Amino acid sequence: MTDRYASFVQSAAGRALVKRLGLPDPPRLRRHHPGDPLLAGPALLGAATGGRLAEPIAEILTAAGVELADPAATPQRYGALLFDATGITDSTELRQLYDFFHPQARAVLPSGRVIVLGTPPQECATPREATAQRALEGLVRSIGKEFGRGTTAQLVYVTRAGNAAADGPDLSAGTHTGLASTLRFILSGRSAYVSGQVIRVGGGAASTPADWDRPLDGQVVLVTGAARGIGAALAKVLARDGAKVVALDIPAAGDALAAVANDIGGTAVQLDLTAPDAPTRLAEHLASRHGRVEVVVHNAGITRDKTLGRMDADRWDQVIDVNLSSQERINDMLLERELIPAGGRIISVSSIAGIAGNRGQTNYATSKAGVIGLVDSLAPALRARGISVNAVAPGFIETRLTARIPLVVREAGRRMNSLAQGGLPVDVAETIGWLAWPASGAVSGNVVRVCGQSLLGA
C-alpha cells in the first residue's frame, strides 16, 4: 500500500503546492540500513546540575561512533540533542531545560532525535522531585509536535543505579548495557516512526552483542501471523539481525508463509492458534527442533468490525480468542515447559485502538487493551525468571488492513500524527526487534507506541 500524497509532496511540483496551500507536509523519514551510522550529524549532550547519567551517556555514544559536539563551538547543526534531566529535583530547576533546548530549537537536522533522560517519578526522594520529573513528559511530547521534518522526541526514565543493583544491571558500574540498546535504537533510523514515547529502563539483565549489526545472533524467535503484513516484515528484520526465525501462520496462508520462511532461511509452522491443541503442538515443535525459544512475538491478529449493537457473538469471540486468549494459552504452555530461558522475551502486538478505543471495534479494542494488561501483569511476575514482557502499539501502518479503510477516513488516519504520514510494517518490526535484543533485558513492562505520535489516545 503506497501513500501517493507523500510521494507527490516530495516532488518539486508537490513542494511548491504544499507551501502555497499550507497542506500537510510529510517528511521523508530516515530508516535503518545495516552499516548506517546512528546519526546524520553530531550529538549535543547537556545535563542539569547534579545529573547522574551524562557520563554513561557520553560513553555509550562514543562507543557507538557518535561524534559529541563541543557546546562552545560556533553554531552548528545536530543529529541529536540529549539532555540528562536526572539532576532536576524541584520545579524551579526546570528552567535548565529551556536554557538547553531554546537556543538549539532550529539546529536539529532532518529526522533528528531529541532524548530527555529522567528518574521514574515513583522512585524520587521527595514529592517535589517526583513532580519535576513528571513534568518532563509535557516538554518531550510538545517538542515531538513542534520540531518537524521527521524529528522525533522521547523521554527515557532510567531507574536509579542503587535500585538496579539489587534488581538488575547497575548503570553506574561501567558497562551501561541496560541503557545502551535503548539509546542506540532511538538514535538510529530503526525508530523512524516512534515519537512522543515514555520508555522505562531498569531491572533485568542485559548483555552487549558481539556485533551491534547482528544483535539477535543465534536467538530462536517465534513470529505468529508471519505470512504477510507486519509479521512478514518482522520475520525479515529479525532474520537480518541474526535470529533463527520460526514463522507461524494458519494453514490457509501456507504458500505465503513458506515464501517468507524460504526468503530468510527460517522455518514455517502451519497452525491455527485458536485450535485446542495449538499450545501443545507448538511447544512440541519448538522443543524437538530447537529445544528452546528465546523470543516469542505474538503478532497474529484479526479484526471483525461492527458497532456493538450489530455485532454477533461470533465476531466478539473470534477477535478475543485470536488477539488475546490464544496468547495467554501459548505463554502458559511455553513457560510451564520452561522453553523460554532466562534472558527470554515475550513481545505482544497491541494497537492504539486498545489505548484510545475505536467506533466499530469494541471487540478489537477490548482484546488490544487486554494485551496491555497482559504486559502489566506478566512483566513483574516474570522478572525473577529473567524474562522481559513488552508490547508495541502500532498506529496507522500501511498494510492490507488499513488499505480496506474508506478513503476519507484512511487519509485522516494517515495525517493525524506528528509525522503526517502512516508508518510502514518495517517500523513496527524494528521496534519489536529492539525489545527482542539480549541487550534490552533492562526494558520490561513497556508499551511502546509506533504511531508517529498519533493524536488518538495521546
Ligand X SMILES: NC(=O)c1ccc[n+]([C@@H]2O[C@H](COP(=O)([O-])OP(=O)(O)OC[C@H]3O[C@@H](n4cnc5c(N)ncnc54)[C@H](O)[C@@H]3O)[C@@H](O)[C@H]2O)c1
Residues 292/339, Cβ–Cβ less than 8 Å: yes
**Binding status of residue 163 toward ligand X by CB under 6 A:** no
Nearest-approach distance from CB 369 to ligand X, in angstroms:
12
Q: Given the complex with ligand X, which of 96 and 224 has the nearer CB atom?
A: 224
Q: Which residues contact 379 (CB under 8 A, 6 or more apart)?
A: 388, 389, 390, 444, 445
Q: Given the complex with ligand X, which of 399 and 431 has the nearer CB atom?
A: 399
**Binding status of residue 358 toward ligand X by CB under 6 A:** no
Within positions 396 to 425, which residues make up the interface with ligand X, using CB under 6 A?
A: 396-397, 399-402
Q: Given the complex with ligand X, which of 160 and 329 has the nearer CB atom?
A: 329
Whether 98 sits among the annotated catalytic residues: the reply is no
Q: Given the complex with ligand X, which of 156 and 286 has the nearer CB atom?
A: 286
**Binding status of residue 320 toward ligand X by CB under 6 A:** no
Nearest-approach distance from CB 217 to ligand X, in angstroms:
26
The three cell numbers locating residue 237: 528484520
The three cell numbers locating residue 50: 547534579
Residues 116/136, Cβ–Cβ less than 8 Å: yes
Within positions 362 to 401, which residues make up the interface with ligand X, using CB under 6 A?
A: 394, 396-397, 399-401
Q: Given the complex with ligand X, which of 274 and 366 has the nearer CB atom?
A: 274
**Binding status of residue 229 toward ligand X by CB under 6 A:** yes
Among 82, 206, 227, 387, binds ligand X (CB under 6 A): 227
Q: Which residues contact 389 (CB under 8 A, 6 or more apart)?
A: 345, 346, 347, 348, 374, 375, 378, 379, 382, 444, 445
Among 48, 156, 347, 349, binds ligand X (CB under 6 A): 349
The three cell numbers locating residue 223: 513470529
Q: Given the complex with ligand X, which of 46 and 354 has the nearer CB atom?
A: 354
**Binding status of residue 272 toward ligand X by CB under 6 A:** yes
The three cell numbers locating residue 122: 515513583
Distance from C-alpha of 343 to C-alpha of 126, rounded to nearest angstrom: 34
Q: Which stretch binds ligand X (CB under 6 A): 9-17, 53-61, 116-124, 267-275?
A: 267-275
Q: Which residues contact 107 (CB under 8 A, 6 or more apart)?
A: 44, 75, 76, 77, 78
Nearest-approach distance from CB 360 to ligand X, in angstroms:
14
Within positions 293 to 312, which residues make up the interface with ligand X, using CB under 6 A?
A: 299-302
Nearest-approach distance from CB 458 to ligand X, in angstroms:
15
Nearest-approach distance from CB 123 to ligand X, in angstroms:
32
Distance from C-alpha of 177 to C-alpha of 63, rounded to nearest angstrom: 11
Q: Which residues contact 344 (CB under 8 A, 6 or more apart)?
A: 293, 294, 295, 296, 385, 386, 387, 388
**CA-CA-CA-CA torsion sign (187, 192, 196, 200):** negative
Size of the site for ligand X (CB under 6 A): 27
Q: Can you spell out the DSSP letters for 273-338? A: TTSTTHHHHHHHHHHHHTS--SEEEE---------GGG--HHHHHHHHIIIIIHHHHHHHHHHHTT
Pairing of strands 345-349, 295-298: parallel
Within positions 232 to 261, which residues make up the interface with ligand X, using CB under 6 A?
A: 249-250, 253
Among 322, 324, 333, 374, binds ligand X (CB under 6 A): 322
**Binding status of residue 231 toward ligand X by CB under 6 A:** yes
Residues annotated as catalytic (active site), given as ranges: 364
Applying CB under 6 A, the residues found at the interface with ligand X are 224-225, 227-231, 249-250, 253, 272-274, 299-302, 322, 349, 351, 394, 396-397, 399-402
